[in-house]
Structure 1
Amino acid sequence: MNVRVYLVICSVILNCFLINQVNCYNILGVFPFMGKSHFYVYDVYLKELARRGHNLTVISYFPQKQPLENYHDIDLGKGKSLFELNHPVSVSYAQALLSFAILQPIVGSYTCRQILDDEEVQDMILTQRKFDLVVAEQFNTDCPLAIAHLLDAPVVGITSYMLLPWHYPRYGVPYNPSYILYDVYHGGTKPTFLQRIVRSFSYQFINFLQKHICKHEDSVISHYYDNVPSVEELGRQVKFLLLYQNLVLAGSQILPPNVVEVGGYHIAQPKQLPADLQNFIDESKNGVIYISFGTILQGSSIKKEYFRAILDVVSELPQRVVWKWDKKLPQNIINIYSSKWLPQNDILSHPNVVAFFSHCGMLGTTEAIHHGVPVLGMPVIGDQFTNAAAIEEQGLGVQISYNSISKELLLEKFKIQVFAIAFRHCITLNIVAILPFHGRSHFIVQRVYLNELLRRGHNLTVISHFPEKSPPSNYYDVSLAENSTVFENSLLYRQSYVKFPLVSFNMLKYGRESCEVLLSNQNVQQLIRQKPKYDLAIVDQFNTDCGLGLAYKFNAPIVGISANGIMPWLYERFGVPYHPAYVPFQFVGGGRHPTVLQRFERSILNTYTKFIFYFSQKLEQLKVAKYLGDVPPLEEIAKDIKLLLVYNNFVLTGSDIYPSNIISVSGYHVPEAKEVTGDLKSFIEGATHGVIYISFGSLVKTSSLPDNIVTAIIHAISAMPQRFIWKWHNKSQVLDKNKVFIADWLPQIDILAFFSHGGLNGAVEALHYSVPILAFPILGDQPSNAASIEESGLGVQIQGHEITNETLVAALKKILDPQFRENVTRLSRAWHDRPISALNTAIYWTEFVARHPHLNYRNRVVDIPFYQYWCLDILCIYIAIILTFVCLLKIALKMYRIKHIVQDKKHTMKRSKQE
């Protein structure tokens, strides 16, 4: 991915935390780790911030050699030569745990004291220097968080690696040893039983240890400053974490939206190589293998027999070798160029470099991916095991264990596997979009996305109920409209948990009907017989999976698209964790703060909806077999969906924990507002106190609203000074035409001031145009949306049974309060503040799948057995260990008692004899 994209992401994210709308910010960066490879990443990020005009103060061990404008260094090393962290080549679980148990608290506490002892830092805190933001490294000490607290500044965390064990609970990321990549140890997303036990134990041990490290740091900080919360608590208040990884390497990871993947931004434009090195690589007819084991590892400490095996292999291979090595190599090897230092990024960018033999440090790994160079990984310590496993699983290279190095195995890895890896690119795509749902509100969203794909030159075949009247030449409609009616203004008012089973059952019934309409359509059948070649299939993810069977017949990679949030039955297929205590359930209220009753309801309804969807899917499978022939189970096809474009955003819906292949794209359907005309324009312009817009969407018949609710609305219209615009189908209703404008269709996005049913499209439009909402949820996802509207601060919600003349007027007055509207304006600014627009995001990831169809997008959790997901086998091991310990303890105590009984008897007999 382009380096500038990552830099834009990192820079723009900062704006989310700032109150004032200004161009330049005062930013404090605190980077307490003394490892050069870490700061090498941060340095690029910091210089880009400075280049964009922000004023930086940077606390680190690595001051700039040449002073930069608006960049001030606080040098923790004070010009002294730094101790370089070097590790001999050794692979040991015990060593890894020992380094955490000893080095982490010692080095972290030492660094914390150095920072707090610094006179410039003390002066900065004493004078309460104003910073808009603190960028804090998240590694071996949390001391920077205390500094941010003392300066009263929000914090953005930053890393140069993947998540560390203590980051998982800190940012609410679920950890499971059965499928999640784990720093320090082998196994990738497919660990063995032993590896899962080791991971489970080490995860608990390291987090237990981290709590004690935090307490130790708290005591260090309290020695300097009073009334500072614990660093553990401050860690949970970090706004964003810029995580140095990427979907291409790490696969689909389950992360909340405030953990942002930005891996790769350190990679600079390649520079000209030194003349002798340039000639050496240019003249290599069979390509070049680059070998480097990084800056931290001592390459010369590799065992002699392993070193000999590497030499024998590179001597036999026809490729030349460029080797970063800290000792002289044998003189008789003529195909090797070696040096203690080499410009790694520039070498990897050379087209003649065909492979990279590496320890799998994050920087080198990222550079290899960027330049398309396959990797042979030999991990030794730290996150190298994670990176090597990710490289192999993602098809970017292979790995070899340090302890298994041999000439034969190295030759096999190089010849058979590494040189076989290739990359595929495409420009103009042939895309089929399968959209079987007949709801217009969904297609309104999807149509904008499809039109943008057209505008970018792709060829589209669209199977839907909404054919274009004048389609362009690269748009081919397969219309389903002949055999269906549009799902619009067709539902009666319902607001009852008792009626929920009927509503959900009907929704899936409509799905099965859509399946029949889709597969039986003659144009669809003709399309199947033609066997067209598609680069990509876009399939609606709503109430039927029949579109997946059709995509399978077309043999195209699948991108899922949703015009709403994630339906309950989609969680498992994408590996999204569901928990009723904090994850909203789409069809009921409660938001992220449910009551006990609401949590109980969610648990029951979640199980119920999954069950009836499973039953419905089995019936659909029969239809698929009837019309399409031999097709795998639909749920198995669903697990191979590459990406899901979901229509939500954390600004409105809150922070959800999604894998990397679920992309939030909410908002792209909202165009620029057009000026209203005619009577409506005159009505709005005549509204001295503004306009409130009332609409209950396109699905519910507003004429079916209960009389008491209609009466309350009419009372509010009379009681409020504002004028009202009401989307209303009952023309017989007698209302004051000077106070209310009635129509059965209105240009919603042009006149928003909203009393709404809480539909997602309307909520997004209101947020886009900074208009508060009074949400009156009726059915479907509206209760969940209404809860999000209230929790985000976009508006308030009112339930049907709460509506009276007085409560409705009071609720409208609340959202019209100037302070409330000001909060909505701030929320809207955050909504618009994105590094890439929603539409560009959707298009980018769609094209990404077509460019990289064989990349592993699938989250490992969807494949692991039930007992592994819940770690039942590991739990059994723990229980067995505890029971064994208890039994041994009982045996020991019993033997101890027997021993004392025997001794007492002997003592008694002895006394008896003496007497």
Structure 2
Amino acid sequence: MKIELFSRIILITVLEIGAESANILVVNSMPSYSHFIIPFKLTKELASRGHHVTSINAYPQRTKLPNYTDVPVVENIPLIEDIQIFRNEAKNVCQRIERYVQDAEMVQVLYNTSLMLTNSHVSVSGAIPLVPSIIEIGGLHVTTKRLPDDLQTFLDNAVEGVIVFSMGSNLKCEDLKLETRESILKAFSKIKQKVLWKYESNLPDTPENVKISPWLPQQDVLAHPNVKVFVTHGGRLSTIEAIYFGVPLVGIPVFGDQLSNIATAAADGYAVKINLEELSEQTLSSALNEVLTNPRYKEAAQERSNLLHDQLLTPMESAIFWVEHVIRHRGAPHLKTAGVDLKWYQREMVDVIVFLLAVVTIMVFVICIVLKKLWYILNHSENVTTPKKKIQ
């Protein structure tokens, strides 16, 4: 099963170790806010505990934080769309080459990693065996605050409940085809619930029950008890937030981990999936009706939520403890599995494969020799025992 890192690449390097604090360099290589938010919250907490953090990222803070220094690379943000397009094309043309290149680039970092924090948890990812240096921190980014007055009023007055619709921070609903947007609005106009739709621009002719907003405090909205269904692209952060607050999903995955996230959610019973190319008034209405009227989706979401909350330490407490554990123990080599020290031929089991091939070859060779000898004996015996005919 795939493990989601809390950032595409986040490099935390301890430059100087002291009794109380450390100098920490953080490299956020992905110019995407959804990939930035978790390492930012973690390193912000580390800074508040006295560590000195230098962060290279595309989202510098407007207000200077104590012990936290931004090295801004804002110019990389427009690259995210080009990166996604290139990535999808590369996968279509060459999946194996891409994987080889990624492995070649990452092998030095991976084999020198002291600790890996993953944005996963059994409540959303399933149970998998992990070595001691891999720590699950799914849910670390979830925090809530007071809603803006207009949203609070909208949600409070939704007697029949609210449908929340958002495609995340990278995907834009305004880029959907015109007929798709019209189909969505028609489906929403037929339900008695209110709809809160994260839509990046003006959208004319919206039904009375639909509220458009270019930005939503998603976690704070999902925390409201009147939210009944979350229509989402199925990004890992959105999926975890939905589980955290026990909200069932209608998933419309587009690319990347969204596909597996929604497939897992559907298999676990708290989501209905709609393929993007099949999104229509009929499919959306059907999915919404299924989740709204069948209590098993809410029950499954709440059960998963209970699992996510039932932890000895909060995800943040766990992350901080293990990062500082690595600092205290100067890289914590005791956490590393012996597997990282295997030679390449041992890791790929080349020596075992060669041995087995040798054994099979020898066995085939011996069998061939034995069969040849048997054939010779049988053939020779027949020639000896056959009586010769007398010449008349």
User: Could you tell me the TM-score, scaled by structure 1's length?
Assistant: 0.30
Residue 351 and residue 401 in structure 1: after superposition, are their counterparts in 2 closer, same or farther (change >3 A)? Answer: same
Instruction: Decide whether aligned partners of structure 1 residues 211 and 416 sit closer, same or farther in structure 2, where only a CA change above 3 A counts.
Output: closer
Residue 98 of structure 1 is matched in structure 2 by 89
How many angstroms apart in 2 are the aligned matches of 1:425 and 1:100? 33
Equivalence for 1:28: 25
Task: Report SS of the residue matched to 1:41.
Answer: helix
Q: TM-score, normalised by structure 2?
A: 0.67
Partner of 2:380: none
Aligned identity (percent) is 31
- The correspondence of residues 709-748 of structure 1 with structure 2, limited to 5 A, is none
Count of equivalent residues: 299
Matched, 1:206 2:98: yes
Cα shift at 1:425: 10
What is the CA–CA distance in structure 2 between the aligned matches of 1:68 and 1:313, rounded to whole Å? Answer: 45
Q: CA deviation at 1:265?
A: 0.8
How does 1:828-843 map onto structure 2 within 5 Å?
none
Kept in 1, the 8 Å contact 2:234–2:261? The answer is: yes
Whole-angstrom distance in 2 between the partners of 1:382 and 1:360: 10
Given candidates 337, 361, 365, the residue that maps to 1:655 is 337
Matched, 1:66 2:63: yes
Q: Which residue of 2 aligns with 1:388?
A: 262
- Contact persistence 2:119–2:139 (CA under 8 A): yes
1:352 to 223, 226, 237: 226
Q: Deviation at 1:61? A: 2.2
Tell me if 1:233 matches 2:108.
yes
**Contact 2:162 / 2:229 at 8 angstroms: preserved in 1?**
yes
The residue that corresponds to 1:378 in the other structure is 252
The superposition leaves residues 636-665 of structure 1 with CA deviations (integer Å, 9 ceiling, x where unpaired) of xxxxxxxxxxxxxx99897399xxxxxxxx
* 1:266 aligned partner: 141
In the alignment, the residues of structure 2 paired with residue 332 and residue 233 of structure 1 have an alpha-carbon distance, to the nearest angstrom, of: 53
The equivalent of 1:818 in structure 2 is none
1:401 and 1:426 map into 2 onto residues whose CA distance is 25
Q: Indicate the residue corresponding to 1:253 in structure 2.
A: 128
Given residue 323 of structure 1, which amino acid in structure 2 is its aligned partner?
A: W
8 A contact 1:257–1:656 mirrored in 2: no
Gap change, CA 1:26 and 1:304, over 3 Å in 2: same
Is contact 1:378–1:401 with CA below 8 Å preserved after alignment? yes
**Aligned equivalent of 1:328, options 179, 190, 202:** 202
Structural mapping, 1:115-514, within 5 Å: 202=95, 204-211=96-103, 214=105, 232-268=107-143, 270-331=144-205, 333-417=207-291, 420=295, 421=297, 422=299, 423-424=302-303
Deviations 1:563-595 (A, max 9, x none): xxxxxxxxxxxxxxxxxxxxxxxxxxxxxxxxx
Aligned partners of 1:245 and 1:261 also within 8 Å: yes
Deviations 1:103-147 (A, max 9, x none): xxxxxxxxxxxxxxxxxxxxxxxxxxxxxxxxxxxxxxxxxxxxx
Relative to structure 1, the CA distance from residue 418 to residue 41 in structure 2 (aligned partners, 3 Å threshold; closer, same or farther) is farther
Deviation at residue 406 of structure 1 after TM alignment: 2.7
In the alignment, residue 292 of structure 1 is paired with which amino acid? S
Residue 253 of structure 1: how far off its partner (Å): 2.6
Distance 1:98 1:424, change over 3 A: closer
CA contact (8 A) 1:251 1:394 kept: no
**Residues 18, 341 of structure 1: alpha-carbon distance in 2 compared, 3 angstrom cutoff:** closer
Cα shift at 1:298: 2.4
Bigger Cα displacement from structure 2, 39-48 vs 68-77: 68-77
Partners of 1:257 and 1:284 in 2: CA distance: 47
Give runs of aligned pairs for residues 759-838 of structure 1, distance below 5 A. Answer: none
1:255 partner SS: coil
Say whether the 8 Å CA contact 2:266–2:273 is kept in structure 1. yes
Amino acid corresponding to residue 131 of structure 2 in structure 1: P
Amino acid in structure 2 at the alignment position of 1:655: T
Cα pair 1:86 1:297 within 8 Å, conserved = no
How is 1:638-677 mapped onto 2 (pairs within 5 angstroms)? 655=337
Aligned counterparts of 1:96 and 1:653: Cα–Cα separation in 2: 34
**Which residue number corresponds to residue 494 of structure 1?**
none
* Alignment partner of 1:83 is 2:74: no
Offset from partner CA, 1:394-436 (integer Å, 9 cap, x none):
2232211111223232222212235522225999xxxxxxxxx
Mapped to 2, the partners of 1:286 and 1:20 lie a distance apart of: 56
Q: Which runs of 5+ in 1 are unaligned?
A: 1-6, 8-13, 103-200, 215-230, 428-649, 658-915
Shift of 1:86: 3.9
User: 1:232 Cα deviation (Å)?
Assistant: 2.7
Amino acid at match of 1:383: D
- Determine if the alignment matches structure 1 residue 54 to structure 2 residue 47: no
Q: Using CA pairs below 8 Å that are at least 6 residues apart, which structure has the higher relative contact order? A: 2
Q: Residues 343, 20 of structure 1: CA spacing in aligned structure 2 closer, same or farther, 3 A cutoff? A: closer
Q: Distance in 2 between matches of 1:652 and 1:59?
A: 29
Query: 1 CA distance for matches of 2:101 and 2:303?
Result: 45
Q: Is the 8 A contact 1:348 1:367 kept in 2?
A: yes
Q: Deviations over 1:482-508 (max 9, x none)?
A: xxxxxxxxxxxxxxxxxxxxxxxxxxx
Match of 1:44 in 2: 41
Alpha-carbon distance in 2 for matches of 1:362, 1:326: 21
Cα distance in 1 for partners of 2:259, 2:209 equals 30
Deviation at 1:356, TM superposition (A): 0.5
> 1:75 and 1:319, CA in 2 relative to 1: closer, same or farther beyond 3 A?
same
Q: Is the 8 A contact 1:244 1:261 kept in 2?
A: yes
User: Which amino acid counterpart does residue 69 of structure 1 have in structure 2?
Assistant: P
Q: Which amino acid aligns with 1:376?
A: V
1:868-890 deviation digits (Å, cap 9, x = unpaired): xxxxxxxxxxxxxxxxxxxxxxx
For structure 2, which runs of at least 5 residues remain unmatched after alignment?
A: 1-5, 7-11, 307-331, 340-392
For 2:333 and 2:31, the matched residues in 1 are separated by 36
Q: In 2, Cα distance between the equivalents of 1:324 and 1:349?
A: 16
Would the alpha carbon gap of residues 71 and 425 (structure 1) be closer, same or farther in structure 2, given more than 3 Å must change? Answer: closer
Question: How much has 1:390 moved relative to structure 2?
Answer: 1.9
Mapping of 1:593-604 within 5 angstroms?
A: none
Structure 2 counterpart of 1:833:
none
Moved more, 383-392 or 350-359: 383-392
Where 1:85 maps in the other structure, the secondary structure is: helix
- Superposed CA RMSD: 3.5
TM-superposed deviation, 1:378? 0.3
Q: Say whether the 8 Å CA contact 2:15–2:25 is kept in structure 1.
A: no
- Secondary structure of residue in 2 paired with 1:98: helix
- Alpha carbons of 1:327 and 1:396: their partners in 2 closer, same or farther (altered >3 Å)? same
User: CA, structure 1 residues 37+19, in 2 after alignment: closer, same or farther (shift >3 Å)?
Assistant: closer
Tell me the amino acid that sits aligned with residue 114 of structure 2.
Answer: K
Q: What secondary structure, in the 3-state scheme, does the structure 1 residue paired with 2:80 have? A: coil
Whether contact under 8 Å (1:96, 1:381) holds in the other structure is no
TM-superposed deviation, 1:67: 1.0
> In 2, are the aligned partners of 1:376 and 1:398 still within 8 Å (CA)?
yes
Question: Counterparts in 2 of 1:551-566, with a 5 A limit?
Answer: none
Note closer, same or farther for the CA distance 1:322–1:46 as it changes in structure 2 (3 Å cut).
Answer: same
**1:291 Cα deviation (Å)?**
0.3
Q: CA 1:72–1:377 in 2, change beyond 3 Å: closer, same or farther?
A: same
- The 1:253/1:18 distance shift into structure 2, 3 A limit, reads farther
Give the aligned partner of residue 559 of structure 1: none
User: Helix, strand or coil: the match of 1:365?
Assistant: helix
Distance 1:101 1:236, change over 3 A: farther
Q: Give how far 1:235 is off.
A: 2.8
